[in-house]
Structures are given as structure tokens and as C-alpha cells.
Amino acid sequence: MKLLAPGSPKELVDRSLWFKTANARKLSEKYGVEFGFELKGPTEAIRESPGLYWGLHLPDMLATDWYYHQKRREKMFKELKRVAKIGPNYAVLHGTHLLWQPPTKEYIQRYVDRSSTDEYFKILKANIELIGELKRLFNLKIENFPLYFYYKKTQGGYLPYTFLMTGIGRLDDLAYLKEKTGVDIMFDIDHMQTVLNFLLRKRNYRHLPLEKIEKLSADEKKLKDIFGFYLKKNYIPYLDHEVTLAHMINKLAPKFFHVTGALQDIISGKKIVTHAPIRLKDKTFRKNIRLVLAQKPEAILVETANSKVGNAWNYLRPNETELSFYNLCQILFEEL
């Protein structure tokens, strides 16, 4: 099993020191755990291999840009071919996001689906095509993504509330893509938990209304079967039965994971809490990491935020990601 630290090329020398701490050495000596990196940020900054096992997190909006801006594809793939030659052990893709501008003030309307059934089938088909092209370059994983996004303040930073952001890689469509293309899944626990909170109206989405859809057309029924939840224009997406994190992990059978201590994406009106730190005494995290370990994972990435990530997390300590890595080392030593 590999335990990975996130970082940009400039951060790797410092982050490689994390692997020499006492708990990291104990993991390596007793359980054979190896260490490495998942590189994030602009691919242009990657000029050489880190020298350890490493993954490449492709730019967050790559699939979206590829879909909406076809004239950029040639330049995009030229850069991807360059970085592929450096030899990442894997690459991670976010699926296409359907772009539309949500109402800025109306709470309920921010979550109403604005996209047609045809649009969903188009991006599904396009993602299958893109995955096929990227698999020729990389050992590719597709990462599940939330059903939300944040509003930006005019002065920078983020307001602590969200809006609907549908697209590819939200729930059961991950299994569909895996079946159709053979792509592996990068399972982000934080992202999946917030999707389930939204669809099941839990935590900060508990006050969001659930208007049931009485009738689906044949295409809408097919869409629901693929995505696993009700998804219809002019309605707020929802699930009509309980789905758990454990169910989705078992369904998708991933071997690669992103882990954090988060249980929800925001505390409404207060702060953004997604990518929360990993705490030693967090019983829910312990329960979740046992689900991960039951899959006999190939790689686990610590993906917690810190105050250096952006204004949304300025309440965290600057070394929060590092501390979470140390805590995860201890937790893994106790749980393996």
C-alpha cells in the first residue's frame, strides 16, 4: 500500500521529510507501507519525476474545458503528452461539469437543475471519448465530484453557501463509466459524503425541500438508472432510498482513495468545512478508514486543507495537512 502526500513540485522536498517521522517509519517497517506524492497544480510546473511513486492530479476543469472549448484540445493534449512522458504512476480526472450561472440570492433556486436530459447524455458520451484518449497516455482514474460549488466573493475568497453543479462522476455513473471504459475510480470520501448529504437532505441540506417527481420519460428513466438518483430539469436532484458511504465503496470497489476528516461541505452562514483535518479521536473517520482498508487499497492520499490553500480555509493552521498526515500514519498503524 502507498500513502501519499499532496503537493506541487516546489513542495516535494519539504514533504518528503514527512516520510521520515517515527510513525511513518513504523508503518514502513511493520506493514511495508511505501510513500509518494500526488502532484497538483499547473502541469507546466512538472519538469521531472519526483523520484518516488507519484500520481498526477489533472487540472480540475480539464474535462470541462475539453468539452466546451474544442479549439483548445490540440494544445491541451500536446501538454498532456509531454507530462505523460515523465512517467506518473497514475493520473486523476474530474468529469465534465455542466456550466450555468445560478441565481445569486434565491436559496431554493440555487439548487434547481437547469440542464436537459440531452445535455447529460452528451457529456456522458463525451467523457467516454475523453477517457479513451487519456487512457492511451496514463494509468487513468476518474474521481467522484460533489454536487455543489462555492460562490466567490467579489474581493476574493468564498462565501459559505453553495449551488448545484451537476456533471459526470457524481454517483452511480462512476460504475457506468467503469463498465464502459475500464477506467479505475479514485474514491474521494469527502466528495461522496457531501453528495449523499445533498441527495438525502442531511446536515446542511436538511432544510432543502424534496419535491418528488411523479413521472419520468423513457430517457429520464434511463438517465436515473445510470446516475442512480432523480435528475430532471426544473427539479432539485434527490435520492428516494438510503444510500451509505459503505454501499458506494462496495459498489465501486475502488483501490485508490482521497481521505479527509470532513462530514459535510459547509456550516451554513459560518464557514466551509470540506477537506477538514484528520483527528486521532475522530470515531467517524476511524469507521471510514476501516471501510477503505477492507478494500485492500493500493494508494491513500491525505487531502486535507490548510490556511495556505485559500481564503476559504483561513481558519485552519498553515501546517494542517502535515499534521493530518502524521495523524493518519498513527491511525493506520493502529488499524492495520
Q: What is the pTM of this model?
A: 0.96
Whether 110 contacts 102, CB under 8 Å: yes
- State residue 168 phi and psi, 5-degree precision: -95, 145
Domains and CATH numbers, the chain: 2-335 (3.20.20.150)
Per-residue pLDDT tens for 194-242? 999 999 999 999 999 999 999 999 999 999 999 999 999 999 999 999 9
Per-residue pLDDT of the chain (336 residues; tens, 9 = 90+): 999 999 999 999 999 999 999 999 999 999 999 999 999 999 999 999 999 999 999 999 999 999 999 999 999 999 999 999 999 999 999 999 998 877 667 788 899 999 999 999 999 999 999 999 999 999 999 999 999 888 777 676 777 888 999 999 999 999 999 999 999 999 999 999 999 999 999 999 999 999 999 999 999 999 999 999 999 999 999 999 999 999 999 999 999 999 999 999 998 878 899 999 999 999 999 999 999 999 999 999 999 999 998 888 999 999 999 999 999 999 999 999
Residue appearing with cell numbers 500526488: 38
Q: Three-class SS of residue 94? A: strand
Q: Which of 273, 327, 280 is nearest to 300 (CA)?
A: 327
Q: What is the pLDDT of residue 330?
A: 97
Contacts of 288 (CB under 8 A, 6+ apart): 189, 245, 259
Query: What count of Cα atoms within 13 Å lies in the side-chain half-sphere of residue 120?
Result: 25
Burial class of 296 by CB neighbour count within 10 A (0 to 12, 13 to 18, 19+): exposed
Nearest to 231 by CA among 168, 314, 287: 168
* pLDDT value of position 6: 97
The 3-state DSSP class for residue 69 equals: coil
C-alpha cell at position 239: 435520492
Please name the amino acid found at residue 174. Answer: L
User: Beta 271-272 vs 266-267: how paired, if at all?
Assistant: antiparallel
